[in-house]
A = this chain, B = another copy of it.
Amino acid sequence: MGAVTTDQAAFRDELVARGLFLETGVPGLYGHGAAFEHIRLRFDELVTKAASDDRPELLRFPPLMPRRQLESSGYLHSFPHLAGTVFAFDGTESDALEQEQRASRHEDWTEFQSMTALSLVPAACYPVYPAIAARGTIPAAGVVIDAGAAWVFRHEPSADPARLQSFHQREMVKIGAPDEVHAWRDDWCARGLELLRSLGLPAERDRAVDAFFGRGGRMLAASQREQELKFELQVPLGGAAPTAVTSFNYHQDHFADRYGLVLADGSTAHTACLGFGEERIVLALLYTHGLEPTSWPVEIRRVLWEP
């Protein structure tokens, strides 16, 4: 677990005390109370509105994806520490009995579980690429997919309320010609900044790097920063530095190569995605404007609750 500031710990405790977060006993895993969820859903609608000019195609995916896809995606190279796989039982009746007895005593029952064909989804855009590739070539104008507010997983237990293991990532994906994909990503940086500031969040844009694993990861990060592949919108959220609440990622041909995304003229497509961390944005609103939404400034409440 990373270091957590006093401010973050106090914020977490207040969220729990007010029923905005429901504790489960596992760090970074919470239920949501009605007030929290109400804000999240309204923010989600604002993203839908901001995206309407793109006329995106809506696709929805479960919180699980084929393990084989995780294996092929490169994720285990960059983020082995964050990935999650699904294991299940496939034994005899006496194995089941032994498993249940050990589990009920909270002892180790690992040996009865084996790897299934499924993994957790690490980012909402991952299932999009093979689904689009399966349709054939990409039209010249490109495609924009709205992958909705999908549940994603990151194995990083923390007492920081903004660092969750299971959370909603609202993602949009563009697949098309390199110039257009790059321009779309940059245009959305501006749209996202405007959206967050309209809610009174002191958001700032910054070049960013992913939390790559290990020594090799430092090289990946340096290259990502130099090529300006990743931007984030960051908001103060009780930590020592501002917290990223939205990210905009230009993948060049990384996913297109792996999944065979080809334009109608036979050239390799490029891809970009953007992701709003919905729980983090709700937390930023609560942190910035106070834990009682009915007392938020009227102009903020108007943006959120009046159509």
- Residues on A lying within 8 angstroms of B by beta carbon are 22-26, 29-34, 37, 57-66, 68-72, 76-77, 80-81, 83-90, 93, 96, 99-100, 103-104, 106, 108-110, 113-118, 120, 127, 130-131, 134, 148, 151, 153, 155, 157, 165-167, 213-216
CA A70 – CA B89 in complex, angstroms? 14
In the complex, chain B residues whose CB is within 8 Å of the CB of A130:
24-25
Measured CA separation A247–B193 after assembly (Å): 45
CB distance from A36 to the nearest CB of B (A): 8
Per the bound structure, the CA–CA distance linking A83 and B117 in Å amounts to 14
Q: Is B71 touching A104 in the complex (CB atoms < 8 A)?
A: yes
Cα A62 to Cα B149 with chains together (Å): 12
Contact yes or no, B64 A25, CB < 8 A: no
Bound-state CA distance A59–B34 (Å) is: 6
Query: Given contacts A26-B118, A62-B151, could you give 19 more A-B pairs where the C-beta distance is less than 8 Å?
Result: A22-B59, A22-B131, A23-B134, A25-B69, A29-B65, A29-B118, A31-B131, A34-B59, A72-B104, A76-B103, A81-B88, A81-B90, A83-B88, A84-B88, A86-B86, A86-B155, A87-B115, A93-B215, A109-B115
Q: Which 10 A-B pairs have the closest CB atoms?
A: A62-B166, A34-B58, A88-B155, A71-B103, A80-B96, A93-B214, A63-B63, A32-B60, A76-B100, A31-B61
CB of B113 within 8 A of CB of A71, answer: no
Q: Could you jot down 21 A-B contacts, CB within 8 Å?
A: A22-B59, A22-B131, A22-B134, A23-B134, A24-B131, A25-B66, A26-B66, A26-B118, A29-B65, A29-B66, A31-B62, A32-B60, A62-B167, A76-B96, A77-B100, A84-B88, A85-B87, A86-B86, A89-B155, A117-B157, A151-B151
Q: Which residues of B contact A96 (CB under 8 A)?
A: 76, 80-81, 213-214
Say which residue of B60, B89, B155 sits within 8 Å of A116 (CB atoms). B155
Nearest B residue to A168 via CB reads B62
Output the least CB separation between A237 and chain B (Å).
Answer: 20
- How many angstroms between the C-alpha atoms of A31 and B173 in the bound complex? 15
- From residue A18, how far is it (CB to closest CB) to chain B in Å? 13
Contact in complex: A68, B165 (CB < 8 Å): no
Contact B25 A68 (CB under 8 A): yes
- In angstroms, Cα B155 to Cα A34, docked, is 30
Q: Considering only CB atoms, which chain B residue lies closest to A30 in the complex?
A: B62
- Which residues does chain B contribute within 8 Å of A115, judged by CB atoms? 87, 108-110, 113
| Residue in B closest to A215 when the chains form the complex, CB atoms | B93
Are B157's CB and A29's CB within 8 A? no
Partner of A117, one of B26, B37, B100: B26
Cα–Cα, bound, A99→B213 (Å): 13
Contact (A68, B106) CB under 8 Å given A85-B113, A89-B83, A151-B63: yes
